[in-house]
Amino acid sequence: MTTAESNTIIGVGVDRVDGPRKVTGAAPYPSDFSYDGLAHAVLVQSTIAAGTISRIETEDSEAAPGVLTVVTHDNSPALADGPITPLGPSPPTPFRDNRILHHGQHVAIVVAQTQEQATAAARSVRIEYQQSTPILGIENPDAAVLRNPWGLELHRGDAEAALASAEVVYDETFATAAETNNPMGLFATVACWEKNRLTVHDCTQWPVMVRQTLAAVFDLPESDVRVLVPYLGGGFGAGLRAWPHVILAALAARLVDRPVKVVLTRPQMFTSIGHRAQSRQRVRLGSTKDGRLVAIDHEGTSTLGVEDFNIDPITMTTGSAYACPNVATHDRLVRLNIASPGAMRGPGKVEGNFAIESALDELSYELGVDPIELRLRNYAEVHPQSGLPWSSNALRDCYRVGAERFDWRRRDPAVGSMREGHWLVGYGAAGVTFGSYQAPCQARITVERNGTALVRSAATDIGTGTYTIATQLTAELLGLEIGQVKIEIGDSDLPPAPQSGGSGLAMSHSAAIHDAAGNLVRAFLDLVADDENSPLRGNAPSDVGCAAGRVHLLEDPAAGESYTEILARHALNEITADGRADLETGRGDSATSAFAAHFVEVRIDKDLGLLRIARVVSTIDAGRVLNEKTARSQIIGGVVMGIGMATLEETIFESATGRIANATFGDYLIPVNADVPDIDVIFVGGPDSFSPVGIKGLGEIGVVGVAAAVANAVYHATGRRFRSLPITVDQLL
C-alpha cells in the first residue's frame, strides 16, 4: 500500500471541517449539554489560605428556594483518591477533611433547580475558620522543598570542573511569574447517573484519564464511566487533569439522583484548574573566548501546592539543546499554600528556555559574537546526551531562513543604536529544541458500502485541528475525498487515545490512523484473495495503492475496484479495521525533536516606557506539516501567548493572604489585537523518519522561545537586561 509520501491532500491548507458547525453555533461544548430534570450546582470556596474549618452552617442555604442539597466535608461520603496517571498523581480529592490548603479551595457545593437559585443559596453558606499562617512566596524559608522530585536530573561530564577552568564564565538568575491558562470558554461539567453508570460531559483534553479517575474515586469499573467532549473551548493544558469540580459534579448528581451541571465562574477558573507555576532559575555557562560552550549548569525552582504533585521540570530540555560536553541540571519544587499549578502550554520548557536563551544572548554580547552565530557554533550535530543522530533536524535552516526573512543583517550590533523617531528599536532572537514523543493510541476505521469512511478514537480536538488533519490523513491513505470521511472523537467509549497535550496527540493519533488504514486495505485484499472476479486477487498490500475511492494495482492503476464494489459483491455493509501506535520515545537508532527559531523586533518609547512588539518571524521544523493553515494558526496562537508571558501576564498572589488579586479579565492582562503584530510563520525541514506519517508535533514550539526573543530585543534596544518576566512599563521607565 502506498503511504502519505506522495500526498495530494496532506499538507494542503484545508479549511477546518468542523468550522461550519462552530461558526453557526451547532458545535456542542460541554456546557451546552442538558438532560430532563437537570439541576445546577455552584461551588463555595474558602476565603483563607491555610487553617481548618471549625464550623460550617448550611441551614439557611438548604432552606432557600429550589435548593436540593448542600454538600460539605461534614456530610460528604468518603471518596477514594484518584489514580496515578502518565502525567503524575491526580489532584487531592475534595472534601476529605476540614483542612484548608489554599485560598479558593472548594468547601461546599450547593445544588438547586436553577443556576440562579444555586448562586443565591451559595451566598448563605456561613463558614468559621481556625486560621493559621499560610506559607507563601517562592523564597519562603519555611516552605518544604522537594529536590529532584522526578529523578530527571542530568549530569554529563563534570560541569563544576569545566566552569572552574572556563575562559569565560556567566552566572545569573532569572524569574518568571505565575500565569493562568484562561481559555475563553468557562470550564463546565455535566454529570448524569443511570443506576451505576456515570456519563460526564467535561472540559477535558483527555477523556480516557477522566474516566479512569472517576472510576477510581467512585469505585466503579471503567466500563461504567463515559466521558464526552466532542468540542472544547480552549484548554492550553488546563484540561489535562481531573480537577476536584469534576468529581463534585458527579458526587452531587449521585446524591440528588438527577443530572447536575457545574460551570466555573471566571474567578474560580483561576483557583480550580491550575496555572503555570512561578519559577526561579540560576544559569551558569562556561565558554571559550570564541564562543564554544564547555559547561552548562541550570538550576530550576518552581512552586507547588501543599499536597499536590505536578510534573513540569524546568530544565528538562537544557541538556539536548546545544553541543556541550559538561552539563548539569537540577530541579526542585517549593510547597506553598496556593491553588495547585498544572500544565500550561509548553510547561517547564517555556520557563527553562527563557533563562537559557537569555543567558546565551548575554554571553554573545560579552564575547562580541552575533547571537545567531553563537548558537550555530554550538549546534548539536547529534543528540548531545545519547550521541544518537537526529531523526531529522532543520534548526540550522530555522536560523538561516528566519534571519533572511527577518532581515537580521540590518541589525546594528551596538546596543541602543537603532532608532526610529522617538522609538528605540531592538532585534532579538531565540532558538527552540522541544523534543517529541509518541504515546499509545488506537483508532478504528470503518468503510461503508456507500464508500464513506468513519474514523473513531477517544482523541480530542482542543481547537488545534484534530478533526481536520485526521480527515485529511484518512482521505489520503484510503484514496477518498475530504467529504467522504467522518471523524468521531472526544468519547472515552471509543478506542483509547492519549491526552491532547505535550505536542504529541497528532503524532500518536496519526500513527494509529496510518496503521488502521493499512490494516483496512489488508482486510479488503483478504476478502478478495480467492475472488476470481477481482483484479486484486492474490495481491499483497505492497502491490496496491488507493485513489478515487478504489484499490488499484501499482503496476497497472487501471486494474482495481472500488470499496463499494467489493462490499456489494460480498454482501457486506462495511469493513472495519483497528490500528494502534505504541509507546515510543525513540527507536533506539535516532533521537527526535521539533525545532524552531523566533525573531522579534520591539519598539520602546524612551520617554513613556511603552513596549510594542513590531513584528515576529517564526521558523518551524515540525517534520511534515499535515495542514499548513491549521499549523500556522497554532504557531500564531503560541506566539501570542509568548508575547503575553513576556510583557503582560502575571497571576498575583497576595503576599499575606494567598488570595489571587487579579482573578478577572478586567485585572489579568492578556494580549489583545492591539498588542499583536503581523506574525510571519515559515515551515522548514521535511518528513521525519520517527513517525510513519513524518510529523513531529508543533502545538507548543510556537510559544517556547518567544519570551526570550522579546527580552533579548529589549536589551538590544535599551541596554537594560530584564531577567524577570513580565517586562512592564514601570520597569522600562
Q: Phi then psi for 456, rounded to 5 degrees? A: -125, 135
Single-letter code of the amino acid located at 345: R
Report how far residue 240's alpha carbon sits from residue 535's, in angstroms, rounded to the nearest whole number. Answer: 49
Q: Are 319 and 385 in contact (CB under 8 A)?
A: yes
439: left (phi over 0), alpha (psi -120 to 50) or beta: beta
> Phi/psi zone of residue 37: left (φ > 0), alpha (ψ -120 to 50 degrees), beta?
left
Is 700 annotated in the active site?
yes
Compute the residue count for the chain. 733
Q: How far is residue 501's CA from residue 492's CA, in Å, rounded to a whole number?
A: 17
Secondary structure of the chain: what % helix, strand, coil (to 5)? 25, 25, 45
The one catalytic residue among 179, 299, 565, 700:
700
Contacts 24+ apart (CB under 8 A), 561-567: 561/534, 561/535, 561/536, 562/451, 563/447, 563/451, 563/478, 563/524, 564/449, 564/450, 564/451, 566/524, 566/527, 566/528, 566/534, 567/447, 567/448, 567/449
Degrees to nearest 5, angle at CA 307 with 306 and 313: 80
Concatenated DSSP letters of 129-193: EEE-----STT-TTS-EEESTTS---EES-HHHHHHH-SEEEEEEEEE--B----SSPPEEEEEE
Instruction: Name the residue among 365, 293, 373, 319 with its Cα closest to residue 712.
Output: 365
Listing DSSP states for 561-588 in one string gives EEHHHHHHHTT-SEEEEEEEE--BS--S
Residues identified as active-site: 700
